[in-house]
Structure formats: structure tokens, C-alpha cells
Amino acid sequence: MNARIAPDTFALVTGGSSGIGRAIAEQLALQGYHLLLVALPGHELEEAAGSLANTTGCRVYTFETDLCRENADMEVAGWVQSLQVPVSVLVNNAGMGYVGSYTDFDHHFYRDLLRINITNLVGITTLMIRELERNQPAYILNLGSMASFFPLPWKTVYAASKAFVFAYSAALREELRTKGISVTVVCPGAVTTSENVRARIEASGRMGMMTALSPGRVAKKSVEGMLRKRKMVLPGISPKFSWYLGRRLPGIVRKVIVKRLLSGKKPD
């Protein structure tokens, strides 16, 4: 048995039915974890659960909810508690992205985005901490983005929400150090997941297409980094470049580069 994992424990993965979340769930199952998968109502969740159980032999429980809704965090935590299984990993993966002018989207859209990307992420984490503390070694893996590192017009609210995830993860890591819970944030660039995301990557031009990674590749790096208790995982070239852009380049140079890369997404 892998000494870095608590034996016979479960990993809770939000957005575990497809994309990066499903790929992370698979990597965790291969490491020996059982799975608790949360996603939107629909056939994909059951299909993912059946397939992961068949291919890896792990136990899988599923919960359908919309994480854009208020109180979804409490529903998830209540469901986990009702199962009475030990949980030693929390992966806060579910999230919403977009690209476009700020005024193209209404306040319902931004409120939903903030609920799934921030409010319910913090809520689920808070409600799961005691359970994680009981099942050490424990891990929290949060999905940031290469958009976490500096303000991004045309992805204004998304980038700000991922900057929150980044800062939150780094600070929480320090606080939970003494409780046997390691916190890692992964900040991917473009990852070829849903049709929507693929269309956004294609619209971003050749560079985006060339540097995009598969969910499987990102998941492998993420889980490796998490189990090594890394503070941050930057899978691929784009997030490393973005990190450099955010830390090293003067703001004015960065603004010019970002404008060239993203202003094409702004409708006339």
C-alpha cells in the first residue's frame, strides 16, 4: 500500500463526471482511493461511476447537485456524512469559465460563477475539514487556473475567482499544516475537455491549440503533485509562462501581451 495515502479511504471530487475532474478521479482510484463523485444531474455521472468502478475496482458513490445553487455545499457535506465513510481527499474541481465582454453577461451568470468557483468551494472545504483531519494523511486539491496570476480583461470575473482560489489555497495550506492536511493548487492552461472549452481553445488561435493538454495529462501531474504535498502544480508550458508573466514582467508589458492575446475575443 502506498504510504502517502490513508488506506481504504475515499476521495470526494466535485465535477467528477467528465473533463479534468473525471481524469483526476481515475488517477486517485489507481492510487487506491475509493470515490465520491459530485456533478450535475444527468446520465454522465452514473456512466462515469460505472466505468471507473469497472476499470479500477474501486467503490464509487455519486451525488447529483447544481453547485451554482445556494446551500449546495451543505447538501454535499450532508450526503457525505450520511454515507459514514472515511474521506481523506477533497478535490474542488467543478468550476465555470467564459470569455467575452463584461456586459455580455448578466448578474445571474456572475452570481452562479461566484457560487461554484468560490462560495461553495469554500463551504465544502470548511464542512469537510474535521473529516479530513480524522483520516490523515489528508489532502485538498483545488483547481485554479493560469488565469489565477493577474487580472484578465474579457475573463474578468473568472480570472478574479481563480485568483481567489490561488490565494485561498496558499493561505489555507499554512493554517492546515499542523492538522495533517496538505493543500495543493493546480493552475492549468488550456485543457481539452467539454465542447464549450474546446471551442474557446480553438478561438484562441494556433498557440492555444498547440499548448493545450489532455485532461489525463493534467490529472496525472495534479495527483502526483498533491501526493508529494506540493504547494502548486503548473502542468505544461502555458501556466509556467503565465506565472512568469505575473511575477517578473512589468505591468505595462504584461497588459500589452494580454491585450494582444485576448482582445480578439471582445465582440465589436
Residue 67: CB minimum distance to ligand NAP, A: 4
Query: Among residues 146 and 176, whose Cβ is nearest to ligand NAP?
Result: 146
Q: Which H helix or E strand runs over 165?
A: helix 156-176
| Residue in 9, 193, 222, 242 binding ligand NAP, rule: CB under 6 A | 193
For 57, 167, 171, 194, 245, the CA distances from 181, given in Å and listed in that order, are: 26, 17, 13, 31, 30
Cell of 256: 500589452
9 touches 231 (CB < 8 A): no
Asked if residue 66 binds ligand NAP (CB under 6 A), the reply is yes
| DSSP SS3 for 100 | coil
Asked if residue 35 binds ligand NAP (CB under 6 A), the reply is no
What is the spatial distance between Cα 218 and Cα 186, in angstroms, rounded to a whole number?
9
Which residues lie below 8 Å from residue 55, measured CB to CB, with a gap of 6+?
26, 29
Query: Among residues 94 and 234, whose Cβ is nearest to ligand NAP?
Result: 94
Q: Among all chains, which residue has been given the C-alpha cell 483526476?
A: 24
Within 103-132, the residues that bind ligand NAP by CB under 6 A are 116
Asked if residue 191 binds ligand NAP (CB under 6 A), the reply is yes
Asked if residue 44 binds ligand NAP (CB under 6 A), the reply is yes
Query: Among residues 56 and 238, whose Cβ is nearest to ligand NAP?
Result: 238
Q: Which residues bind ligand NAP (CB under 6 A)?
A: 15-21, 39-40, 42, 44-45, 66-68, 93-95, 97, 116, 143, 145, 188, 190-191, 193-194, 197
